């Protein structure tokens, strides 16, 4: 076991943990809590470096960082990402492939700038300071609004670079115009990596955005359909890059974030129609990175190193 991440409105009782572990203060819809567990077939070496805990095998490193937000969010994200880059560089896993970011009040104001925009400033500057080229080295990622007082980041890094996948229906996030903040979001639409000789695809948090604009404001069913169209477009691009298109839908894990719990039924119906009942879907209540977005969906196309809900 490489790591475990718990989701729920209450911290689960974990009496003993011999692997990297984090709790995201985020309600699970239709359940009290849920664990996302990352496993691999190889032996792992674990390390506790204070607020950053990790486990690694010969190819991949899984890490969790939890830090109390005791400063402005741009400073906190810069500090967190700088710490992550220093950590993975020193251990030889320099390629950041997938990152999950959770912090409270993502749509709130912070000295005249939305908190998500503040987060993007710090993240962008950390990438630049640590020698990462924004477009070339951008990982798959998501950023959601949680509860509590902490910034929680968990991530996968590897010795070998992955293959960035973009969506032809969307402007790459790192090329967004300045109306979305002084620094663009630093992530790729998806990341394709090889593990145990097989492809594994991480689809970033995906929403009802075409070009760079939000579509279907206030309409959850339409936003769900547009989100599905974007996920399918990314998966098609990944197939062109080498992903096996014959995979079963049971090999697809979806994590769906809803701003309003009342939208659960219509969004669930849309995802079931698109991906079938075999797809494994976790539904969470969260604030989305844009205040006009009602939902966001991320995906993992499974392989040898994979999460289970």
Active site residues: 296
Full DSSP string of 278-302? TSEEEEEE-B-SSTT--EEEEEEE-
Q: Which residues of 55-82 are buried (b: 16+ CB within 10 A; e: fewer)?
A: bbbebbbbbbbbbebeebbbebbbbbbb
Number of other residues whose CB lies within 10 A of the CB of residue 94: 19
Distance CA 118, CA 96 (A): 21
Distance CA 127, CA 185 (A): 11
Distance CA 128, CA 126 (A): 5
Coil/strand/helix, residue 75: helix
- Distance of CA 56 to CAs 1, 53, 147, 218, Å? 10, 10, 29, 43
Distance CA 56, CA 130 (A): 22
């Amino acid at each position: 076991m490489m790591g475990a991440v718990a989701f729920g409105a209450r911290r689960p009782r974990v009496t003993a943990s011999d692997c990297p572990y984090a709790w995201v203060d985020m309600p699970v819809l239709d359940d009290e809590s849920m664990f996302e567990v990352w496993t691999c077939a190889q032996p792992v070496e674990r390390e506790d470096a204070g607020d950053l805990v990790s486990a690694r095998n010969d190819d991949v490193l899984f890490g969790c960082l939890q830090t109390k937000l005791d400063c402005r969010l741009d400073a906190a994200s810069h500090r967190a990402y700088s710490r992550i880059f220093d950590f993975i560089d020193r251990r030889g896993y320099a390629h950041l492939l997938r990152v999950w970011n959770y912090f409270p009040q993502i749509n709130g104001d912070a000295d005249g700038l939305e908190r998500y925009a503040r987060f993007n400033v710090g993240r962008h500057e950390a990438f630049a300071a640590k020698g990462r080229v924004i477009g070339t080295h951008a990982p798959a990622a998501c950023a959601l609004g949680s509860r509590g007082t902490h910034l929680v980041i968990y991530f996968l890094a590897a010795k070998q670079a992955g293959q960035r996948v973009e969506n032809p229906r969307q402007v790459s996030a790192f090329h967004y115009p300045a109306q979305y903040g002084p620094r663009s979001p630093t992530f790729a639409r998806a990341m394709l990596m090889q593990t145990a000789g097989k492809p594994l695809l991480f689809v970033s948090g995906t929403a009802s955005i075409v070009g760079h604009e939000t579509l279907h404001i206030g309409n959850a069913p339409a936003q769900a359909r547009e989100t599905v169209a974007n996920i399918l477009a990314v998966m098609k691009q990944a197939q062109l890059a080498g992903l096996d298109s014959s995979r079963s839908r049971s090999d697809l894990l979806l994590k769906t974030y809803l701003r309003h719990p009342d939208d659960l039924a219509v969004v669930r119906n849309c995802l079931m129609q698109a991906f079938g009942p075999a797809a494994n879907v976790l539904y969470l209540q969260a604030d989305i990175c844009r205040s006009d977005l009602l939902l966001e969906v991320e995906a993992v196309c499974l392989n040898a190193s994979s999460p289970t809900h």
